[in-house]
Structure 1
């Protein structure tokens, strides 16, 4: 189905600290009319989640259902707002690999783009392959079949 971020690809960071977003991911962004990207540090993995403003909206709707003075709402705000930034691709479809991204993920020279259906992630390639292998093993141990 079109409009989903699927698969993964690894691209090198250029001398100016930018990385080309895979064409298939740019196509999904275009189909969805997304120009401004919301980038959020993942809650579990050393990865950056990237999507349109609806990604932030989804989490904020969940927060709005909580008591705004509750610890859970405060923690969520700390992660969503304190661990998120807006970014834009340049005219050639490149994303700046900022300290915000590098510090959280450990990315240095290459970025692994990972589709997650309604958003995508940036990973350090080896960390992604290790996490995917661990997830595959956990699914296998639970007996889930394709």
Structure 2
């Protein structure tokens, strides 16, 4: 399970080092094999361990492609999906289309989301947090949650 937020940097070639705690979990879970793709709602990237992606892929493919929103989700999730493997130093090379989609520059934030991670540009992450209270109403499922 991936939890917490980790400030990381990306070098000029587009390489980022996965933090040691996450790197160890990914090494044991999927031998460092990942699939990174575009988020459908935010300008960030979703980072899946390969087995999690393999479970999700048939569900994405089964979406009704005559529905415009479902088709757009397929285009983003499948169209940007990129298999990557951590190198011996725990780094991955992010391809330019993924970096461009999420507006990634040097300062990044890797945010745990349970079975996956989100990768944000630092500025986009803080912008998202600043506008979170202005966003949509709380879904009914959240009303029964006690924190």
1:123 to 120, 123, 131: 120
Work out which of the residue numbers 52, 55, 58 in structure 1 matches 2:55. 58
Work out whether residues 36 and 87 of structure 1, in 8 Å CA contact, stay in contact via their aligned partners in 2: yes
Equivalent residue of 1:81, what SS? helix
The 8 Å contact of residues 10 and 107 in structure 2, kept in 1 or not, is answered as yes
Q: Distance in 1 between matches of 2:60 and 2:106?
A: 36
Aligned-residue offset at 1:85: 0.9
Normalising by structure 1, we get a TM-score of 0.78
Flag structure 2 segments of 5+ consecutive residues without an equivalent. Answer: none
Contact persistence 1:56–1:80 (CA under 8 A): no
Determine the C-alpha separation between the residues in 1 that align with 2:114 and 2:18. 16
Contact 2:39 2:77 in 1 (8 A): no
Q: Determine if the alignment matches structure 1 residue 102 to structure 2 residue 99.
A: yes
Instruction: Count residues in correspondence.
Output: 139
Alpha-carbon deviations, 1:42-77, whole Å to 9, x = none?
Answer: 01011110112233333333246556xx41465444
Deviation sequence 1:18-55 (CA, Å, 0-9, x none)? 11111121122123134321111001011110112233
Segments of structure 1 that go 5 or more residues without pairing to the other structure are none
Partner of 1:43: 40
Instruction: Calculate the TM-score normalised by the size of structure 2.
Output: 0.78
Match of 1:81 among 78, 83, 88: 78
